[in-house]
Amino acid sequence: MIVGGNNKKRKQSFEVKQQKKAAKRRANDSDVVPNCKSCHQPGHKSSRSPLCRNHNPSKAEVLYDNLGGGYTCFTRKVSFEDIVKPEHRPLLKQRVTEACAFMEQLKLHMCLFVNYYCINRRDAPPSAVFKQNFWYSVSQMIMGKRITTSAQIPNDLLPAWDAFRRIHPNALLRRGMPTGMVSCISEECVIIATCFTNAIVEEFEKRVKSFLYFILQNRFVLIQPKDIHAVVDKFAYPYVGRGFAEWPSKPFVNDDFKATVKRMCTPLQSLVVSPATLENMSANPQDYFLCLKQVSVAIEEQHSNHAMDVRRVPPPRAFALLPTPTIRWPTVSLSCDAISSFMRKPRRRGYNQQLQLYYDIFDFSKLGFERYGIKCRIQK
């Protein structure tokens, strides 16, 4: 259940989602897998794995066992007063309001500091910036708490934090953390890490292509725009992205034209570590950060130096290199752990026990399933 704003995710095809998941899975599989916390056997991490002898079936596994693989999920939008049982409304509403207000400030402080940290580095940001554990450690640092997981903390992060605090004395969040925020912060860290990854993966091609078109069109003013687009699509961008580059059949290009285009694209190509495929960018987005940074700096210089020059092709719009912080209230995911903390109930393990907790708090009869012969009940 989501409570709060309405952040929208870009629509992606099934193939694109699978490629991104496969790349992240390969990157995670390269890490050393510790022994299971439940059965203490090697080969898996927790009881969520089917290999564990104490395995707790997930929601997807329970649905597959009961409904098979042909079911369809639907989302229903219901007001807070209709879905929450009357006896739980005051406390849950208070907890959610406190969580949203606190998360808005924490997220703002976190993003401002990490943007400062990444932009002021000479090198590309470390790969940890695009992982959940890094952001959870940053949240602890912002709240003035001891960092419990230091494996994802780069060596230069703490000096950068000290420098940031000297510039902005209010960077430390001195407000007390409301009850039940641990799971909310953990889930929000996943969202922020994904946003930082998507800022590179989903925008790299569009931003580099628009910049290449701008510099080539201003250099070769007598060539038609559609022909410049063809050069960018077939040669310039693949050349920068270390892919398969070929010259288009039209327009006719001579050796001087080819040499000039290559010379203009080489500075960006030198900043790309590996071929700019979707899988490579999803697995290692930090390898493409410096190229985007160079494009951003060049576009800002063009806006400053040629703001009113109508004789030139207008430069592309300046863009934020990393996700910009917002002061809007973020969404709060009411997971089972969050509800347990908010309502001061024992934590549940296993899908059926977690489902029982939802039935204790929420009134699902308001969804109207019984009109279609569907009984809302828990399997014992």
| Residue 7 pLDDT | 46
Residue 23 to residues 29, 102, 105, 180, 310, Cα–Cα distance (Å)? 10, 33, 32, 33, 44
| Length of the chain measured in residues | 380
| Residue 5 pLDDT | 39
H-helix or E-strand containing 230?
Answer: helix 225-231
Closest CA to 197 of 5, 2, 27, 4: 27
Where do we find the tokens 């003013």? Answer: 221
| Residue 165 pLDDT | 95
HSE-up of residue 347 (Cα within 13 Å, Cβ side): 7
Q: DSSP letter at 250?
A: S
The two beta strands, 332-333 and 2-3, are antiparallel
| Residue 364 pLDDT | 85
Residue 255 to residues 112, 192, 247, 258, 260, Cα–Cα distance (Å)? 47, 47, 11, 5, 9
| Residue 380 pLDDT | 46
Judge whether 230 and 223 are in contact, CB under 8 Å. Answer: no
Q: Which two tokens stand for residue 233?
A: 């699509």
Q: Which two tokens stand for residue 367?
A: 């969804």
Q: Which residues of the chain have pLDDT under 50?
A: 1-8, 380
pTM of the full structure: 0.78
| Residue 272 pLDDT | 96
Using a 10 angstrom Cβ sphere, with 0-12 exposed, 13-18 middle and 19 or more buried, the burial of residue 335 is middle
| Residue 378 pLDDT | 53
Q: Could you give the CA distance from residue 334 to residue 328 in angstroms, rounded to a whole number?
A: 18
H-helix or E-strand containing 215?
Answer: helix 204-219
Where do we find the tokens 């943007």? Answer: 115
DSSP per-residue string spanning 255-295: HHHHHHHHHHHHHHHTT--S---HHHHHH-GGGGHHHHHHH
Judge whether 86 and 80 are in contact, CB under 8 Å. Answer: no
CB atoms within 10 A of CB 245: 16
Q: DSSP letter at 122?
A: S
